[in-house]
Amino acid sequence: MHPLPQLIVALLAGVLMGLGLSVAQMIDPAKVVNFLDVFGTWDPSLAFVMGGGLAVNGLATWFILKQPKPAFAQHFQLPPLTAVDPRIVLGGAVFGIGWGLAGYCPGPMIVSLSFADSAIVTVVGSYLVGTFVTRWWLSKAS
C-alpha cells in the first residue's frame, strides 16, 4: 500500500487536533495549571475538552473497529498489552508530574511550537531529552 494516503490522513488528523486544541485554548499552560489548582483558581474547561475528546474517540473507535480493516492500512495495529503494570503506572506518574510543572502535554506542546518563544522551546527540548534518555535506559535494561 502506498504511504501517501496514510500521510495525508495523518496530516489532516494532526491539523484537526491542533485546531481543536487552539480553539479550546488548551495550548495555554495556565489553563492546565488552573485545572490542577482545585482549591485556588480552578478552571474545569480542561475536563470538558477531555470528556468531549473521549466521547468522540470512543464512538469513532467503536465504529472503526467494526470494519474488516482500516481504510489506509492492511490491518489494525492495536496495543498488545491490556494489563496495567508497574511501568505504565510509573510512566503515568512521571508524565503527570511533568504535565503539572510545565502545563503542557505532548499535543498542546507541539501546537505551541508555533509561538516559538524561549519557554516552549525549553519545554520541547526537555521533553525530547526525557524521551531519548528513557529510550536509552530501557534499551540497557532489557
Summarize pLDDT for 47-98 with one digit per residue, the tens: 999 999 999 999 999 999 999 998 888 888 888 877 888 988 999 999 889 8
* Local structure of 51: helix, strand or coil: helix
Q: What percent of the chain has a predicted confidence (pLDDT) above 70?
A: 99
Name the average pLDDT for the chain: 89
Q: Which three cell numbers stand for residue 78?
A: 492495536
pTM score above 0.95: no
* Local structure of 99: helix, strand or coil: helix
**Range 36-53 average pLDDT:** 92
Contact 59, 47 (CB under 8 A): no
| pLDDT score for 68 | 93
